[in-house]
Amino acid sequence: MKILVLAGGLSHERDVSLSSGSLAANALMAGGHSVALVDLYLGIESERDIFLDGDSGKKYSYQVTRQEPDLAKVKEENGGRDALIGPNVIEACMGSDLVFMALHGGIGENGQIQAVFDCYGVKYTGSGYIGSLLAMDKDLAKRIMRQSGVPTADWCLAASEDADAKSLISELGLPLVVKPCCNGSSIGVSMANDRSELEAAISAAGRYESRLLAEKKITGREFSVGILDGRPLPVIEIKPRSGFYNYENKYQAGAAEEICPAELSERSAEDLQELALKTHSALRLGGYSRIDFILDENNGPFCLEANTLPGLTPTSLLPQEAAAAGVCYEDLCDKIAKLAFKAGGQPRAKSRICNEGIVLK
């Protein structure tokens, strides 16, 4: 296939996206596809002659730094352009067989670019615009989870400029987790154990978005479950070597220990897989996703969030889970692409749990 890998964009997860996109592009070329890696925000001079084959000898690469990118600088380097979609991007997407979505955050995961593609008849990987919107808005996602019987921590939604530490403590108690309502990669997320830390957390989240979520902190082991073609992958456990699973611990090699399959009883692993599939279905997600959990020793699992375009970086969780199910990285990217092409960009979910592996078609 002629596949355009779409990455970058004007999102706080821009660097992670470019890393995911580079690796996915290389894997797809190795699998025999003609591939172009395009930055959503920067755009391209022309949609012609941008696709590379595996025999070209060229490879893409991008290194994620310890801090999220300076978006003001990115805009300044591009004449202060506010348009989220760069020159010739839509034309290039229309000229491809498929768009492989390597975007994270912002327009790439909130449903906006998916809606644009639907209008132009462009096939793309991942979830459609409805599922993307529902999962990205953490308040909406948690409402749907709770209505669907998926346990999730108590929370409050507040305008960042009006959020009051005293009111949040009165409503939820302490400790709390504070995060921007529609951001990813733990950017802007803080833990608050007292009022002073909560006030600092409110300020930190407010730098990224006009709405924030304050959530009752659940203490326990952290797990994640990928969904691929309607089947839960093996459960992975995440153990940061220090602090919590923040931006640096997620993307710097060796900053966290990841164990897959997780050291859980068969029943506990299946419970998490069932909840992951239930969440995936309730949020109307597509061909693949990743659902994150905290397992409280006394009260069981709580769903943290759903990721519609989980990372595909060297330290990302979904590729590790797929590998544990017998699916190598190249085959994972190829399967994601073929699922989307076959289903027109919005694959339907199935419902069978599979621990022993996945049969590639």
Question: For position 14, which CATH number holds?
Answer: 3.40.50.20
Distance CA 327, CA 310 (A): 16
Do both 242 and 212 map to the same domain? no
Tokens of 241: 């070597």
Do both 116 and 10 map to the same domain? yes
Structural contact between residues 156 and 214, judged by C-beta atoms closer than 8 angstroms: yes
Burial state string for 65-104 with b = 16 or more CB within 10 A and e = fewer than 16: eeebbeeeebeeeeeebeebbbebbbebbebbebbbbbbb
The domain that contains 173 carries what CATH number? 3.30.1490.20
The per-residue pLDDT for 182 is: 84
Tokens of 10: 């004007």
Catalytic center residues:
13, 185, 251, 290, 292, 305, 307, 311
The per-residue pLDDT for 254 is: 61
The per-residue pLDDT for 253 is: 57
Q: How far apart are the first and last CA of the chain?
A: 16
The per-residue pLDDT for 360 is: 29
Q: Please, what is the angle between helix 266-282 and helix 138-147, to 10°?
A: 120
Whether residue 352 is contained in a domain is answered as: no
The per-residue pLDDT for 115 is: 97
The per-residue pLDDT for 66 is: 73
Average pLDDT along the chain, 361 residues, taken 10 residues at a time: 95 90 95 96 86 82 80 92 95 96 93 97 96 96 97 95 92 94 78 94 88 94 97 94 51 73 96 98 97 94 96 87 96 96 58 34 28
Distance CA 120, CA 116 (A): 7
**Strand duo 211-216 + 190-192: pairing:** unpaired
Rg (C-alpha) for the chain, rounded Å, is 20
Do both 175 and 110 map to the same domain? no
Whether residue 162 is contained in a domain is answered as: yes
Whether residue 269 is contained in a domain is answered as: yes
Which amino acid, residue 218?
A: I
Do both 200 and 234 map to the same domain? no
Q: Would the pTM of this model clear 0.75, i.e. be above it?
A: yes
Whether residue 106 is contained in a domain is answered as: yes
Domain range for 201: 154-216
With CA atoms as reference, report the closest residue to 337 among 110, 21, 28, 22.
28
CA 279, 171, 174, 163 torsion-angle sign: positive
Do both 173 and 108 map to the same domain? no
